[in-house]
Chain A
Amino acid sequence: MASIRFDKVGKRYANGFVAIENLDLEIRDREFLVLLGPSGCGKSTTLNMIAGLEEVTSGKLCFGDQLVNDIPPDRRDVAMVFQSYALYPHKTVYENIAFGLRMRRTPQAEVDARVRSAAQKLAITHLLDRRPSQLSGGQRQRVALGRAMVRRPAVFLMDEPLSNLDAALRISMRAEIKQLHEEMQTTFVYVTHDQAEALTLADRIVVMNDGAIEQIGTPHDIYEKPATIFVASFLGAPPINTLDGEIGGASGRPVFRCGDVALALPPAIAAPTGSKATLGLRAEDVTLDPKAQDDVAIDGVVNSILPIGSDQFIGMKVAGREFFFRLAKDQACAIGDRVRLAALTNRLHVFDAASGRSLAGG
């Protein structure tokens, strides 16, 4: 059993700083769960609490049915991969990988078999006699993965394991980690601040902010149905365009108004007329359409164009805010053009201005 349950878990440091407050979270057996959030949101603390490296100061942390609050890391059957890799500089690659097994008094024949099979899987067999200082970043990362793999732990923890790699390597390692999860059939908890990593790897994503959970859901839910303005603005590149305004009602259908912008909202939006709201509109959720109806139209003058190969980003001022939209590159426009865009109204996100929570029905 490698399900993990946080029951009103809190973490308060000796200096009074509260890193985590009242965390409730259930991590399922064999799930790939990603903790996503900006730095300082408590995601690493959460991971360290699972590992036993940080003390739980209130609430209950259970592995399966077993309360593990006071169980030290060496008796938790977890393995961890660190951002800095944390390889032992004085040991060879072989000994680095074997160390966890040796500490558990695994017989030498088995240690050797497991180290070699892990090394083969990670294509680092030729490096086994080297020391970490003689390896490149990507190689070190593989050794760190190998060190965690050979243990065959019940829970596999990763703390921003790809952050120190260059962009190309990061993408190929992502695929390898995903594959590793399939092969190992064990629970993975992965911490990152990189939304692309989270969206590609996760079975479920937990978005955290300020020591609390903003939303838990599949990558699709998190992206398509953000529960809060924070989640909406944390995911997506460029960040979601936001506009503060208020809900108006015209002929039974809610309308979002701000200055000269008035957009019809999906009927499911549940908010009384006149309430303050924040609109979220993702860059890709518009099309260039000179004949768009007024209640879906956004007008503006293009003030910047950023081609990104497959597409182009155009920047324009909307109701005083700088908005970025993503258009196909064949949709020709030039700086200074006055354009009319049609928003895909069923993809608009509306949040309560005070609480930041989504006003989408349900």
Chain B
Amino acid sequence: MSAAGPAGATGHVAGERHRRLRIAALWIASLIFVGYVTAPLVWLVSSSFQSEREITSKPPHWIPHEPTVQNFAAIFAAPKKDVTYETRRAADPASGGFIPSTAANLLPAMANSLIVAISVVILNLLVAIPAAYALAKIRFRGRDASIYAILTTRVIPDIALVVPFFLFIRNLGLLDTLASLIITYLAVTVPFSVFILTNYFEGLPDELDKAARVDGCSRLQTLLHVYVPLSLPAIVAVILFAFLASWNEFLLALMFTQTPNSQTLPIIVASFTSDFTISFSFINAAGVLAIIPPVLIALLFERYLVSGLTAGAVKG
């Protein structure tokens, strides 16, 4: 410590120590959080490559000692196998090779989920982008009322909508079809998509709209040439939100689907737990397949993800 500025130097040392402590605390907190988020995922992936016996070993193996792809093989083989009481009994859950009775439905359900989710995403964009543009940039009579009406639909919990939705779907004759899911998921997701995009569009200057229209754009061209390219982060947020909401949705799917014709992934995966014998390794392998599409989408749009997820909250 120098005689010239003892007070300053002490302050400096204390400040430095304080700063290091802060950084250390931040690191620890971040690591705990990352562990909290990733541990179940790591276990899901790890256990999907383990046999049923290894899964239930104590202590659990974070890294498989005898890695195997038999669970995945079973999933892809399931449609070809005839699952009967006898064949199931012959397979030993402990050694693997055990297949739930509904296993053959897994891949078709995944296809159903993809069809539903992609349709919901596309229809969401087709409806929400023009709607949000109109709400954000056109001053028409009833505009405020429309915004509130749209937002109000989001304060009703989905479970309250199940019965009206069911009656509606039944009267349309759409029970046990993918259309029933697409329609109801749209009802649930579109208001939120409109909300995100309206906020984002409102943050873009009105003069851009005017400039484009004077430059010769119709309303639709203004939207396509100016607003859509400038709103990619918000649009990506909408894509992710609509995709994940449809991909994960369980309640409505449980109500409206009855056969593998229209059952989605969450319904089939859930059905694996209601079998006579439960194969955790098989379920986890199915879980790994189930998270691949959302992960791919997230990687695809990673560039826009961070700015997009805050788009609804922060204007401009």
A residues apposed to B, CB below 8 Å: 13-14, 48, 51-53, 72-74, 78-80, 82-84, 86-90, 99-100, 103-104, 147, 151, 157
With CB as the reference atom, state the residue of chain B lying closest to A81: B211
Hey, which chain A residues are within 8 Å of B211, CB to CB? 80, 82, 86-88, 147
* Count of A-B contacts judged by CB separation below 8 Å: 66
Hey, which chain B residues are within 8 Å of A78, CB to CB? 214
From A13, A51, A89, A147, give the contact of B210 (CB < 8 A): A51
Hey, which chain A residues are within 8 Å of B10, CB to CB? none
Hey, which chain A residues are within 8 Å of B216, CB to CB? 74, 100, 103-104
Hey, which chain A residues are within 8 Å of B205, CB to CB? 84, 86
Given A82-B207, A84-B205, do A90 and B214 touch, yes or no (CB 8 Å)?
no
Hey, which chain B residues are within 8 Å of A157, CB to CB? 214
- Select the residue from B208, B216, B225, B226 with max chain A CB neighbours within 10 A: B216
Chain B residues numbered 193-247 whose CB sits less than 8 Å from any CB in chain A: 205, 207-208, 210-218, 221, 225-226, 229-230
CB distance from A133 to the nearest CB of B (A): 12
- Interface flags for B104-120 (1: CB within 8 Å of A; 0: not) read 00000000000000000
7 tightest Cβ-Cβ pairs between the two chains A and B: A103-B216, A86-B207, A86-B211, A100-B215, A73-B213, A80-B214, A82-B207
Hey, which chain B residues are within 8 Å of A84, CB to CB? 205, 207
Asked whether any CB of chain A lies closer than 8 Å to the CB of B65, the reply is no
Question: In the complex, A51 Cα to B206 Cα: how many Å?
Answer: 14
Question: In the complex, A52 Cα to B212 Cα: how many Å?
Answer: 12
- Cβ B218 vs Cβ A74 within 8 A: yes
Given A89-B230, A90-B229, do A103 and B221 touch, yes or no (CB 8 Å)?
yes
Hey, which chain A residues are within 8 Å of B210, CB to CB? 48, 51, 53, 73, 80, 82, 86
Instruction: State the interface size on chain B (CB cutoff 8 A).
Output: 20
26 contacts between A and B (CB under 8 A): A14-B141, A51-B210, A51-B214, A52-B214, A53-B210, A53-B213, A73-B213, A74-B214, A74-B216, A74-B218, A79-B215, A82-B211, A84-B207, A86-B207, A86-B208, A88-B211, A89-B230, A99-B212, A99-B215, A100-B214, A100-B216, A103-B216, A103-B221, A104-B216, A147-B215, A151-B215
Given A84-B205, A86-B207, do A79 and B214 touch, yes or no (CB 8 Å)?
yes
Asked whether any CB of chain A lies closer than 8 Å to the CB of B80, the reply is no
Hey, which chain A residues are within 8 Å of B212, CB to CB? 88, 99
Hey, which chain A residues are within 8 Å of B58, CB to CB? none
Question: In the complex, A52 Cα to B213 Cα: how many Å?
Answer: 9
Given A14-B139, A84-B207, A86-B207, do A72 and B215 touch, yes or no (CB 8 Å)?
no
Given A88-B226, A90-B229, do A74 and B217 touch, yes or no (CB 8 Å)?
yes
CB distance from B271 to the nearest CB of A (A): 47
From B140, B213, B226, B229, give the contact of A72 (CB < 8 A): B213
With CB as the reference atom, state the residue of chain A lying closest to B230: A90
- Select the residue from A52, A73, A83, A90 with max chain B CB neighbours within 10 A: A73
CB distance from B61 to the nearest CB of A (A): 51
Question: In the complex, A51 Cα to B210 Cα: how many Å?
Answer: 9
Hey, which chain B residues are within 8 Å of A48, CB to CB? 210
- Cβ B215 vs Cβ A103 within 8 A: yes
Hey, which chain B residues are within 8 Å of A13, CB to CB? 139
Question: In the complex, A141 Cα to B224 Cα: how many Å?
Answer: 25
CB distance from A12 to the nearest CB of B (A): 12
With CB as the reference atom, state the residue of chain A lying closest to B204: A89
Question: In the complex, A138 Cα to B270 Cα: how many Å?
Answer: 63
Question: In the complex, A14 Cα to B141 Cα: how many Å?
Answer: 7
CB distance from A76 to the nearest CB of B (A): 8
Given A14-B139, A14-B141, A90-B229, do A103 and B217 touch, yes or no (CB 8 Å)?
yes
- Cβ A53 vs Cβ B229 within 8 A: no
Hey, which chain B residues are within 8 Å of A86, CB to CB? 205, 207-208, 210-211
Question: In the complex, A52 Cα to B219 Cα: how many Å?
Answer: 13
Hey, which chain A residues are within 8 Å of B207, CB to CB? 82-84, 86
Question: In the complex, A124 Cα to B91 Cα: how many Å?
Answer: 77
CB distance from B212 to the nearest CB of A (A): 8
With CB as the reference atom, state the residue of chain B lying closest to A75: B216
Question: In the complex, A153 Cα to B4 Cα: how many Å?
Answer: 73
With CB as the reference atom, state the residue of chain A lying closest to B226: A88
Hey, which chain B residues are within 8 Å of A88, CB to CB? 208, 211-212, 226, 230
Question: In the complex, A99 Cα to B214 Cα: how many Å?
Answer: 11
Hey, which chain B residues are within 8 Å of A89, CB to CB? 230
Given A86-B205, A89-B230, A103-B221, do A53 and B139 touch, yes or no (CB 8 Å)?
no
Question: In the complex, A154 Cα to B63 Cα: how many Å?
Answer: 74
CB distance from A320 to the nearest CB of B (A): 46
Beyond A73-B214, A104-B216: 10 further Cβ-contacts under 8 Å?
A72-B213, A74-B216, A79-B214, A80-B214, A84-B207, A88-B212, A100-B215, A100-B216, A103-B217, A103-B225
Question: In the complex, A203 Cα to B230 Cα: how many Å?
Answer: 40
Hey, which chain A residues are within 8 Å of B140, CB to CB? 14
Question: In the complex, A93 Cα to B214 Cα: how many Å?
Answer: 18
Hey, which chain B residues are within 8 Å of A151, CB to CB? 215
